[in-house]
Structure 1
Amino acid sequence: MTPLSGRVVDDPHQLIRAEVLDPQFRYEAEHLLPWYVAIEKALAAEYVRMGVISSGDAKEIAAALDAITPAEIESWRQRSLSDIALAMERFVADRVPRPIPAWHVDRSRNDLQACAQLLAGKRWLCDFAAELESLTAAIRASATASAELPMPGYTHYQAAQIITPGFYLAALAGRLQRRSARLLALLDDIDACPLGAGAMSGQELAWDRDRLAALLGFSRTEPVALDAVASREWAAEVTAELSLVGALLSRLCTDLLVWGGSEHGFFDLPDALSGISAAMPQKKNHPVLERIRGRTAHLTAFHFDVLLGQRNTPYTNLVEVSKESGAHLRAAFETGSSALRLLTVVFDGLTWRADRLRRACEAEFFGGFSLANRLTLTAGVPWRSAQVIAGAYVKRMVEKGTAPGDVDPAALAEIAARHGHPPADPDGLLDGVFDVDGALARLSSAGSARPDRVAEVLAVQEKEARRLGDAWRSRARTLAGVRAR
C-alpha cells in the first residue's frame, strides 16, 4: 500500500492516537461522515467537468463512497494515521476496480474539513431551530390560554402592576422568535462554501467553486481562500447566539421557580414533571426547571470555549482552531436542544392557578398608579403631587391593615387637602381604582397587558412563526437533499 507521507514515515505515537487522533476520528465518523461523502461526490463531479477523470471513474468513486459507514471506516483507522479523510481515500481506492491516479490531485484536507464542519453546523442549526419553534409554540399556547388571568407583575422583586401570564409569555415568545430570526440570519450569513481554498491560498486547477457550492447546498462561495480555512468565526457566532437563547431561558426559569414555590403556587406541574424531598414529604419540587436553568449556563461556557480556543492564534489553518476550539460545538447544540425540549414539556403540562393568581392580586394596592392618574386627569392635581397623595393614601391603608378593595374616601380627602389639593369627589376617585379586573381593562396602549392587546400580539407572532418555520424548513430541505445525493 502506498505510504501516506514521504516526509514523516513513522506512525503516530500510541498516546497521541489514544488521546487525540482516535477520539477525533470516531467523532467525525459519527457526526461528519455523511458530509464528507457528499463533498467527495461533488469534487468527483468537478473532476469530470475539468476532464481530470472520466464519468465512469466518478460513478465508481461514488459507489464506493456510498458503501462507507462508521463501522466500515473504523476498520481503516489504524492504517490511515487515524485520519478520516485518509481512511476514506484508502477505502475507496480499495473498492474501485482499477487505480484512478488523478483522484485527489490538487487537493487539501484543510478546506475539506472546513466544509464538512460547516455543513454539519448548518444541519445542527436547523435542528435547534426546530426545537426552538416547538418551545415557542408551546409558550404561545399557554399565553393564549392565560391571557385573561390577572396576576401580579414584579419589578425590583416587588409586586408592581397587574398583568396576566399570557402577557408575560407573549413577551417571552416574542424574544424567542427574535432569537430564531437572528439564527436564521446567521445561517444565511455563514452559508459560504469553503471548498476551493485548498491548504490556504487556493488551487491550481480551474475548479468551478460556484458549481461546487451549489452542489453542496451553499448559497455562495467564501470569496477569499484564506478565510475559508483560517476562520472558524461561524462557530463562535453560533455559540454566541445559543448563549443568548440560554440567558433568556434562564430568566424564564427563574421566574417559574419563584412563581411555582409554595409562597406563590401560581401554577401546577404534573407529578411526572415534579420531584420529591425524601426528608420533607410535604414538598413537591420542580427540579426540571433547575436542570434547564443549569444547562443554560453550559451554553455560555461553550461559547467562551470556542472563543478562547481561537484567540491569540495566527490567522491561518491550525488544528488548534479547526479541531480543538470546536471540540464541544456538538455538545453545545445537544445541550441547548435538550433545554428546549425539557421546557417544551413543562409548558405542555403547566396549568395556571387562577385562584392563587387572583388572591395575590387582591392582596396588593396595585391601583396606586391609576389613583395618581385620576387625581391629575379628573381633579387637576399636578402629576408629582398626585403621586405623593396616592402614595400617602396607600401607606395609610397599609398601616391600618385595610384591604385594597375597602376604600376610604375620607382618608383620601384628608391627605389630598393636607397637600393643598382637596378633591371634590373622593368617592369617584376611588371607585373601582383597586379592582383587579379593572386594572387590566383600563390599559389601552398597544402591547399592553389588556387581554385583547395580548391577543393582537399573539396573532402577529403566529404569522411570524409561519414565516420563520417555512424559511427554516426550506434550509433544512436543501441540506437533506445534499446528503441524499
Structure 2
Amino acid sequence: MSQGRPDQHRAAPAALTGRIASGPSLLLHEEVLEPQFAREARHLAPWYVAIEKVLALEYVRMDLLSAEQARTVGRLLDTAEKGIVADPDANMSDIAFAIERHVEAGLDAPLPAWHVDRSRNDLQSCAQLAFSRDSLIGTAEQLLDFCDAVLAPAGGLRHAPMPGHTHFQAAQIMTPGFYLAAVAGEVLHTVRRLLATYDGIDNCPLGSGAMVGQDLPWDRERMARLLGFRTAQPHALTGVAARNWTAEITAELSLFGTVASRFVTDLMTWGSSEYGFIDLPDELSGISSAMPQKKNFPVLERIRGRTAHLNGCHVDVLLGQRNTPYTNLVEVSKEAGAPLYAAFDHSRSLLRLFTAVVQHLTFREDRMRAACEREYLGGFSLANRLTLDENVPWRQAQVLAGRYITAALEAGRAPRDTDADLLRIAAAELGHRLEDPERILAESFDVGRSLEKRTSGSVHPDAVAVLLTDHATERARLVGECRTRRETTAGALAQANRELGIG
C-alpha cells in the first residue's frame, strides 16, 4: 500500500468545490476517507438513500422538481448502494458526494435545482441517527430473544437447590430458576431503557442545514414523518451539533455489558471442576492441548471479554466529544461516532453467543444438591427459629447458631447429621433452656425446606413462578413495542416510495 505524501493526490481534481483545486491526497484517502467510506457504506448507505428520496419529494412540493424528475432521481437512488465507491477524484471519497455523483451520472439532462439549499451536516446527522434508532430496535429484539432463552428452562429449575454465595462464600440455598429469573429481569430492564432512549432521540435533524437552518421553506415535520421519526428536532444547531445520543446509547450497552459480565462470571465459576454445577455440549466447549483430562468453556471467556468492549466503546465516545465546540465537527460526528458502530457489532456478537450458551446449558442437580448438603446454609433459619420458637433474643440467637455450627464442624458432622446435645450445651452457656432443639435443627438444615420463604420475589418455587409469569408477560409487551416502532419506520419509508411513484 502506498503511504502517500501529504501533498500527493490523483491527477484530476474533483469538481465539487471552487475553494480548493485538488481532491484528497492518497494518504488521506487510505488512512481516513476510504475506511470511513467503507464503514458508512455498510451501515448508513440505505439511510442516505432514504433521506435523499424524502428530499426529492420536498423539491416537488416546492416546485423545484417535477414529479417525473423526482421519480427518476428515486429510481437512480435505488441503484446507488451497489454503484458507489470511494474515489478521491470523482467524489472526494465521501459517501454523500458519491451518491450525488451516481444520480447525476444517470440523468439524461442536469436538474439544476436538485441539491439546492443543501448541507452534508444535517444529512449525515440524520443518517447516523436513523441507523442508530434502527440498531437500537435490533439490539432490543436480540435481548428479548436472549430473555426468551433464559425463561425457557427457568420454570423447570424452580425446585433444584443450589448454593447461593455472598462475599465468595456459600451463604444460602437458591435455585437455578430463581437465578435465571433475576437474569431475565435485568434483560427486560435493559430493553425498557433502550426503548426509552429510542423515544428520547426520536427527533429528526433533517432541515437543520449546516447549523442555522435553511433558506428554502422545507417542511421539516413532513420529512421527519416520512423517515419514521416522531417529530423534527426543534433547534437547528442541536440537529447538527448534538451527539449526546451516541453516548446515551453506548451507556446503556455498557451497563448491560457490565451486568452480563457478572452473569457470565457465575457461569464460569459454576462450570469449574471444583463446582461442576453446569455443563455445555462439546460443540460449545474447548480442550487443553497439554492436559487431556480438561474440558474447558472458552466461549464463556469470549463472552465476558466482549462485554469489556462495550465499556471501552462508551469511554471512547465520551472522550471523543469532551472539550469540543458545540457545532458540527468531523472529530465529533465521525471519529467520536465510530465506536458506536463497534458497540452495536459487539452487542450483536455477544448476544448471539450468550443466547446459544443459555439454550444449551445443563444444570447438574446432583452436584448442586450435594454442595447444599455439605454446607451449613441453614444458619440464618436456625437463628430465626431460636428466636421465634424458643424465645431467644435475636442477637443471642445469632451467637447461639454460630456456636452450634462451629461445634458441629469441629465434631466432623455434616449439616443433616444434627446433634441436639451440642445445641443444648451452647444454649445453656448463654443461659437458655431449649424445648425442642431436635425439631429446630431438622427444619433449619433441611435442604428442601430451605426454599420455603414467605415473601414475594423470594426463592420459594411459587414466588419464582409468579416472577417468571410476570417476565413472560412483560417480554411479550416489549416485543410488541419493538414491532410497533419498526413498523412505523418501515411504513414511513414505504410511503415515501409510493409518493415518489417507485413503491
Amino acid at match of 1:449: V
Amino acid at match of 2:229: F
Partner Cα distance (2:492, 2:314) in 1: 28
Partner Cα distance (1:421, 1:75) in 2: 86
Greater shift, 398-407 or 45-54, is seen at 45-54
Tell me which of 439, 456, 475 is aligned to 1:446. 456
Match of 2:20 in 1: 8
Tell me which of 159, 178, 182 is aligned to 1:167. 178
Tell me which of 461, 482, 486 is aligned to 1:476. 486
Partner Cα distance (2:37, 2:426) in 1: 79
Partner Cα distance (1:315, 1:419) in 2: 70
Contact 1:447 1:457 in 2 (8 A): yes
Name the count of aligned residue pairs: 483
Partner Cα distance (2:29, 2:189) in 1: 44
Matched, 1:225 2:236: yes
Q: Which aligned pairs between 1:151-190 and structure 2 lie closer than 5 A?
A: 151-190=162-201
Partner Cα distance (2:224, 2:71) in 1: 20
Indicate how the Cα distance of structure 1 residues 2 and 364 shifts in structure 2: closer, same or farther if over 3 A, else same: closer
Match of 1:49 in 2: 61
Q: Which aligned pairs between 1:24-423 and structure 2 lie closer than 5 A?
A: 24-70=36-82, 72-74=83-85, 78-423=89-434
Displacement of 1:478 in angstroms is 2.7
Displacement of 1:133 in angstroms is 0.9
Aligned-residue identity in percent: 55
Amino acid at match of 1:444: R
Spell out, residue by residue over 1:322-348, the C-alpha distance to the aligned partner (whole angstroms, 9 max, x if none).
100011321211111111110111111
Partner Cα distance (2:287, 2:134) in 1: 38
Where does the alignment leave 5 or more consecutive residues of structure 1 unmatched? Answer: none
Partner Cα distance (1:105, 1:420) in 2: 94
Contact 2:416 2:442 in 1 (8 A): no
Contact 1:76 1:91 in 2 (8 A): no
Displacement of 1:482 in angstroms is 4.8
Displacement of 1:69 in angstroms is 2.4
Spell out, residue by residue over 1:410-467, the C-alpha distance to the aligned partner (whole angstroms, 9 max, x if none).
11111111101111222232232201001112x1100000111100000000000001
Contact 1:268 1:353 in 2 (8 A): yes
Amino acid at match of 2:476: R
Partner Cα distance (1:204, 1:254) in 2: 57
Amino acid at match of 1:86: F
Q: 3-state DSSP class of the match of 1:60?
A: helix
Indicate how the Cα distance of structure 1 residues 76 and 279 shifts in structure 2: closer, same or farther if over 3 A, else same: closer
Where does the alignment leave 5 or more consecutive residues of structure 2 unmatched? Answer: 1-12, 498-503
Contact 2:24 2:88 in 1 (8 A): no
Q: Which 4+ stretches in 1 moved above 4 angstroms?
A: none
Partner Cα distance (2:439, 2:36) in 1: 76
Q: 3-state DSSP class of the match of 1:79?
A: coil
Q: 3-state DSSP class of the match of 1:460?
A: helix
Match of 2:476 in 1: 466
Partner Cα distance (1:81, 1:159) in 2: 63
Amino acid at match of 2:165: Y
Q: 3-state DSSP class of the match of 1:316?
A: coil
Greater shift, 55-64 or 352-361, is seen at 55-64
Displacement of 1:221 in angstroms is 1.0
Partner Cα distance (1:360, 1:214) in 2: 59
Contact 2:374 2:415 in 1 (8 A): yes
Contact 1:38 1:482 in 2 (8 A): no
Amino acid at match of 2:303: I
Matched, 1:22 2:67: no
Partner Cα distance (1:27, 1:430) in 2: 66
Contact 1:35 1:483 in 2 (8 A): no
Displacement of 1:483 in angstroms is 5.1
Q: 3-state DSSP class of the match of 2:327?
A: coil
Amino acid at match of 2:53: K
Displacement of 1:409 in angstroms is 1.0
Partner Cα distance (2:88, 2:124) in 1: 17
Q: 3-state DSSP class of the match of 1:69?
A: helix
- For the aligned residue pairs, the C-alpha RMSD in angstroms reads 1.4
Displacement of 1:35 in angstroms is 0.6
Displacement of 1:78 in angstroms is 3.6
Q: 3-state DSSP class of the match of 2:240?
A: helix
Amino acid at match of 1:411: L
Greater shift, 340-349 or 421-430, is seen at 421-430
Match of 2:7 in 1: none
Q: 3-state DSSP class of the match of 1:53?
A: coil
